[in-house]
Every structure is written in C-alpha cells, then in structure tokens.
Structure 1
Amino acid sequence: MELSPDDVEQLRATVGDARVIAIGESAHFVREYHVLREQMVRFLSEQLGFTTVALESGFSEGLAVRDWIHAGAGDPPADGLTYRFGECAEMRDLLVSLKDQQLDFWGLDLPGGLANAGPALDHLDLHAPELRQTLSPVRRLVGRFASAYTIPAFTAYREMALIDRDALTLALAEANARFDATPRPRDETNTIARHELRMVTLLDQMLRAQVAAVEGSTAHAGLNIRDAAMARTVEWILDRTPGRVIVLAANSHIQRRHPMFEVLGSHLSALLGEQYRAIGVTAEAGQVATRRLAPDAPAMAETVLVDLEPPAEGSVERLGPGLHDTRTSTADKIRNLDLYTEGPVAEFFDAVACVPISTPTEQALWTGGR
C-alpha cells in the first residue's frame, strides 16, 4: 500500500504534537507491512522531525545496528536483530533507510530473543569489569537453560532446581547493588551498561513469573514483564534525547489497552498520555505465518502459512484499505495473526492502516518459536 495524499494528511493529524508514535503490525514477516512502515518512518522523520527509531528487538544486540547506522560500512550487522528479523531482506532495507536518514536506533527488548542473557552479559564484561566475579555465577546458571529458542529455554529453566533459580536471582540482585555502589561517570557507556543489567534482571524475573503462572499462581498469570521492560527502554530513550521517537512493534504490544494484561502501549499511555499515539497495521486479505506447537521441532514450535478469512463482521478490516482514524470507531476486533483480538478498537489505537493484501516474506516459515 502506497500512502495516498489522504493517508498522509491522516498520519499528520494522528501524530499531532505527540512525542512517541508507535506503528504496529498484525503479524511479523509481512512484506507489505515493511514497505508501509518504511514510508511512514520516512515521512515522520523528514516532515515531522522524528529523530529516533526503537524496534521490538533485543536492546543489547541493537547496539551493533546503532553503531553501523552512525559509522558503519557495508551491510547491516547480521546479528544486530533478534527473532530472525535480521535475516529478512525487507527489514534490512528498513535499516538501510534509517542509515540514509541518519536516524538514531535502539532495540527495545530483552536480550537473546527471551532465551539467552549472553549478549548483555558479554557487553557487561567489557563495560563493567568490576562485576565479572559477581556475574560469573550468573553466566554459569544462565548457561543451564540458554537456547536459540524461547520454549526450550523456558522448559530448561523450569526444570532447574529452585535453589539454582534463587541463586541466579540473588546474584543479579548483588550485581545491581554493586553497579550502583561503584562511582562512575554518567557517560553513554555506563548508562548503556546500567540498562543492560536491568534488562538481564528483568529477563530473570520474566522467567520466574512464567514458571509461577504455569504452576498456578493467579498473581503472576497477568504479569507481563517483557512489555514492561520494553516500556522502560522507551522511557530510558526519552530521558536521553530531546527528540521524537518512533516505536515499531507488533499491534499486540503497542495498543493502548489490552483485554488481558498490561502491554507496552498501556505503559506508554500511562507515562505520556496524549503524547503517545498508536497506529495499528492490518490486512484485508492475503496470508500470514502463524505459530503452532511442534514438540519434535528444534524450537518445539513451527510456523505455518494460513489464508486470511474475509474480514469478520464488526472488524476494523471492514473499513477496507487506507489509514483510518479509529478514535470514534465502533469496530470491536482487529486481526492478530490469523485470529482476532476482540475489544473496542477505538480504545486500542488512534488510527489503523489496512493494506489490501499481506504477503509473507521468505523468512516467515521456519521451525522456530517466534
């Protein structure tokens, strides 16, 4: 979908004077979503003065992308994005566009695709060497469950003895205290290292909460630490830049309200109020890749291509292609992969962009769990 003049004016009106604009997607690895996002990002930067892009991808891994954008040569770093996003040609095109525009870039998410704290621990070894001894047991314990895939990592973490899980949490608490107790200049290196330590700690807490929820704790069932971590990263970015920020993440993360738990968008709405705008992205027709459990696959899950059914009665997709102001919409559902998230779309998004058709990219099918 090309942005029409009407779409451009709607985008301008939706953004207003907001400091943070989030652009979503109903599924990852959709060619048309990448093209639309690149158009939107270019308009927001060139016409409305946005200076920073923050992506649903690992914070620690994204530091290499940021360095490449500012001073690198050749192709984007292959390991600079998590969830296999870096393998996607359309995503690499977006990164090249960001470099051409000299926009700042940050990853938002927990390290290692939610399955491995290693990337953050490697950086901390370099930039906070006084923590090496304290973080040594963290490395050893993380190595017991670290994986390239989320479900096997969670399974291995859950199988660890409680005393070992507790030892990991205790060692991270000590590392946080030691970092804060060490005099250091407030420069970029130390500021980044502090946030990486925070993200490793939140990864540990996410796994603890997930185990508690699986084992029946209602107090943990709705605790969404991952999205809280992404929200804290956006807050961290806002504290260090006077500019305006574009967030790129799934619809289910950026929506202002979620019917089940707090998400990135609900945190940002609470933090910023009307200075936050959320634009959902969906498709009228086409295909998406959706996840299915597959115990024999390396990640214990795999993706399959699914044809989208015609837009359901009451869905925002019934509005057809284009960028629509949804703040007074009566739509009560929006696509999420091949299904729907139900609820008042007017409370979820300030606008929704609907493309005529969605086409999965080459990387959409795989035996991974994300």
Structure 2
Amino acid sequence: MTVDINPTTVLELLPARPRVLALGEPTHGADVLLEVRNDLFRQLVEQEGYRTIAIESDCLLGLVVDDYVTSGAGTLDEAMRRGFSHGLGGSAANRDLVRWMRAHNEGRPAPERVHFAGFDAPTEISHAPSPRQALTALHAYLTARVDPGLLPCTADCLDRLLGADERWADTAAMWDPAKSVGRTPEARELRVLADDLVALLDAQAPELAAQDGWDRARLHGRTATGLLRYHFWMAEPSPSRMAWLLSVRASMMAADLLALAGPVLAFAHNAHLQRHRSTIRMGEAPAEWWSAGALVEAALGEGYAVLATALGTLRDQGVETPPPNTIEGRLYALPSDRFLVDPRSLSDLEPRVSPWFGYAPVDPAHLTGIDGIVFVRDA
C-alpha cells in the first residue's frame, strides 16, 4: 500500500511523464513538509533531469533568488531576505534549498543549471501593489530594443498615470471597493497601454525570443496586465468581486507555471494545485473559481500531475491524532513516518475536521483528482 517517496515511485503512479509535477502542502510554515519537498526535488534533478522548482511566492521577487542560484549574484542572505514573499525567506528549509541549488550550479554550464521561480501573483491577502515595477520593466526592455516610434507611450507618461504607489497598495481597498483606484481614468488608460506593450513584445518575438531577457520581459508583461486586472476587480461593488479576485490570482499563477520550461516541480498549498473547483466563504456569499492546478491541467492534460500532502498531527496548532475513519487517520495507523500512497487504495472515508483554520485536511471527495498522496506523520 505504501512506498518510499522518490522519483521512481512517483512516476510509476502517473499515466505519462508530466511537464508540471505539483506537490501540495496542507498548511504553510511547517519545515518538515519543505524538507520532503527538498529531498524529492534533489532526486528529480539528479535522476530525472528536472531543472526548475517553482514555489508559491511572489513571481517578481523570485528573480532575485534565481539570479543567486544560477550566477551567484548577491549573497545567500540577500536572496533569502529579498527573494521571497509571505515570510518564506525565514524558513530554514527554504534556505537549505537555495543553498543546495547554488552549490549544484557551481561550475556547471548554463543548460545544466537548476532554476528557481516564484509563481504566485505579487499580491497579499491585505492588499495588491502598484503595477509600477512590472510595467516600467517591460517598457524599459522594449525601449532598448524596438523602434521608438512603435512604443505606445513614454516612461514619463507611465509615471504620471501610475501616480503614488501608496494609492494602489491601500489596505482599505481590499474590503471597500470604493477605496480602490482600479477603475479610475488613469488605471483604465494603463490597462490599454499595458495590453499594447505586451502586444508589441509578442510582435517582436522572431527577433527577441532568442535573446537574453525575453522570458523576464514576458513575465513582466503578464504581471503588469494581471495586476491591473486585479485592481480593476478590487473596485467591483457586486457579489462577484471576490470570485473575480481569486480567479485572477489563479490565472496569473497558472500562466507563470505554463511559461516555465519543463519538467517543473511546483510546490504550493494543496488548494492551489487541486483539479476540483475551489470554494471559499468570505462574508455571506460563497465564492467559486478554478485553481491554478485546474487551469494548468486544462492546458496540459496528462502533462500535469498532482501529489497532495496529508499530515497526521500539527500539535502546536491543536491538530492532534486524526480520527481513524479519515484519510489521515487511516495513514496514521501505518508504521512509517513519511511515505507515498496510491489514492485508489483508499475508500469509505470521512472528511477530517480541522480545529485550526490554517490546516486543511485532504478531502475524500477529491481523491479522484489526486495522482498520489504524500503522507507525513507529524509536523
């Protein structure tokens, strides 16, 4: 029923070799789960030729980490401080990952180096930032490479329309649409200009795609248009507002994953990687949307595979020994601390109820959408 967690046992569960192999976690902040991820990624690199790991962290900040692991730019401390969002730079397991990637790349030719990517939108639960960084980086890239007459605006024009970054990042706008600047005349004009800048970038692909900076320019373009769309829907007063915000974030995450050259190990919360429709209740009305994983599978089919991590206990948060009739309880009764399970071997189980909002048990109703379960006994 159970096997060790390694590339061979994982790939034996799958119908085809995936371009994106997703590994989910049921909670954030437990380093033991990241240690399992690190071990699997190292083995995938050494045995299966994987070259990229993508994690649920700001896609723009992740460029700092990638520069460090691929070329040694900066220091490890700087990469951890400046290259992660959501406090992830303080994780010892994330630090071990970045240190190993840098050591692995030392002295290797560029095609053999491993890469780091963040694939989350640069948003927080409390606010969304100004699109300035992404938009001005895209404009600067094009300014240096194309006929100036093709540019739809100047850098000064962008700066004027963007205004003060604090207006965009106002935390009050997350819950009060009237506080958002996302539908001001300036924001609407920026959406058109961003779209034109991305269109210009695409139109220059035959000349630019083989040059350095192309992938990052595309990332800046996706992020700029995505953030402007996100701010537009922050200003929406109807009940559909939250569903739109969640959908925009998921779409940005999916686009970032699909842009990476495979094979890729993607690591995020189980909820972001699941194939089933996602639901959440914030306030009176529930919101539904398709997660990044569902969107990636729609594009890749069997090129997408997902492993969900199930956790037995998280005692410092009051998550004690699981009931025996749950997924976690069935697996907790087995003798090993960490192992891989074929979800088709599990049936007749009840949902586990979490006493803590920050931990989400694996839903038995979702077993048909999971390729494998990674079980960790205690965190």
**Secondary structure of residue in 2 paired with 1:249:** strand
Q: Structure 2 CA distance, aligned partners of 1:134 and 1:327?
A: 57
Q: Structure 2 CA distance, aligned partners of 1:127 and 1:306?
A: 47
Find out whether 1:200 has 2:211 as its counterpart: no
**Structure 1 gap ranges (5+):** 288-304, 359-370
Aligned to 1:367: none
Q: Relative to structure 2, which stretch is displaced further, 72-81 or 51-60?
A: 72-81
Aligned to 1:10: 9
Q: Relative to structure 2, which stretch is displaced further, 175-184 or 106-115?
A: 175-184
Aligned to 1:90: 93
Q: Structure 1 CA distance, aligned partners of 2:309 and 2:12?
A: 17
Aligned to 1:299: none
Q: Structure 1 CA distance, aligned partners of 2:299 and 2:345?
A: 23
| Cα displacement (A) at 1:325 | 1.2
| Cα displacement (A) at 1:50 | 1.1
**Secondary structure of residue in 2 paired with 1:344:** helix
What is the CA deviation profile of residues 178-198 of structure 1, one whole-angstrom value per residue up to 9, with x for unaligned ones?
Answer: 453377533342442232122
Aligned partner letter, 2:59: F
| Cα displacement (A) at 1:110 | 1.7
Is contact 1:59–1:196 with CA below 8 Å preserved after alignment?
Answer: no
Are residues 203 and 327 of structure 1, via their aligned partners in 2, closer, same or farther at CA, if it must alter by over 3 Å?
farther
| Cα displacement (A) at 1:259 | 4.1
Aligned to 1:170: 189
Are residues 244 and 262 of structure 1, via their aligned partners in 2, closer, same or farther at CA, if it must alter by over 3 Å?
same
Q: Relative to structure 2, which stretch is displaced further, 33-42 or 343-352?
A: 343-352
Aligned partner letter, 2:174: F
Find out whether 1:272 has 2:300 as its counterpart: yes
Q: Structure 1 CA distance, aligned partners of 2:243 and 2:3?
A: 46
Moved over 6 A (4+): none
Q: Structure 2 CA distance, aligned partners of 1:253 and 1:7?
A: 22
Is contact 1:281–1:353 with CA below 8 Å preserved after alignment?
Answer: yes
Is contact 1:120–1:200 with CA below 8 Å preserved after alignment?
Answer: yes
Aligned to 1:224: 247
| Cα displacement (A) at 1:232 | 0.7
| Cα displacement (A) at 1:316 | 2.1
Q: Structure 2 CA distance, aligned partners of 1:29 and 1:161?
A: 33
Provide the alpha-carbon RMSD of the alignment. Answer: 3.0
Q: Which one has a bigger Cα radius of gyration? A: 2
Aligned to 2:342: 325
Could you tell me the TM-score, scaled by structure 2's length? Answer: 0.76
Number of matched residues?
A: 329
Matches within 5 A, 1:128-207: 128-129=142-143, 131-140=154-163, 142-146=165-169, 152=172, 154-155=174-175, 158-160=178-180, 164=184, 166-181=185-200, 184=204, 185-186=208-209, 187-207=211-231
Are residues 144 and 50 of structure 1, via their aligned partners in 2, closer, same or farther at CA, if it must alter by over 3 Å?
same
**Structure 2 gap ranges (5+):** 106-113, 144-150, 280-288
Find out whether 1:234 has 2:257 as its counterpart: yes
| Cα displacement (A) at 1:161 | 6.0
Find out whether 1:338 has 2:362 as its counterpart: no
Could you tell me the TM-score, scaled by structure 1's length? Answer: 0.78
What is the CA deviation profile of residues 318-338 of structure 1, one whole-angstrom value per residue up to 9, with x for unaligned ones?
Answer: 222421111453356477733
Are residues 278 and 332 of structure 1, via their aligned partners in 2, closer, same or farther at CA, if it must alter by over 3 Å?
farther
**Secondary structure of residue in 1 paired with 2:305:** strand
**Secondary structure of residue in 2 paired with 1:81:** coil
Q: Structure 1 CA distance, aligned partners of 2:216 and 2:302?
A: 28
Matches within 5 A, 1:19-168: 19-72=19-72, 74-76=75-77, 77=79, 78-102=81-105, 103-111=114-122, 113=124, 115-116=128-129, 117-121=131-135, 123-124=137-138, 126-129=140-143, 131-140=154-163, 142-146=165-169, 152=172, 154-155=174-175, 158-160=178-180, 164=184, 166-168=185-187
Aligned partner letter, 2:9: Q
Are residues 233 and 280 of structure 1, via their aligned partners in 2, closer, same or farther at CA, if it must alter by over 3 Å?
same
Q: Structure 1 CA distance, aligned partners of 2:133 and 2:182?
A: 25
**Secondary structure of residue in 2 paired with 1:308:** coil
**Secondary structure of residue in 2 paired with 1:281:** strand
Identity score, percent: 22
**Secondary structure of residue in 1 paired with 2:317:** strand
What is the CA deviation profile of residues 234-276 of structure 1, one whole-angstrom value per residue up to 9, with x for unaligned ones?
Answer: 1111xxx3x4111111111011223432001101111111221
Q: Structure 1 CA distance, aligned partners of 2:176 and 2:167?
A: 7
Is contact 1:332–1:345 with CA below 8 Å preserved after alignment?
Answer: no
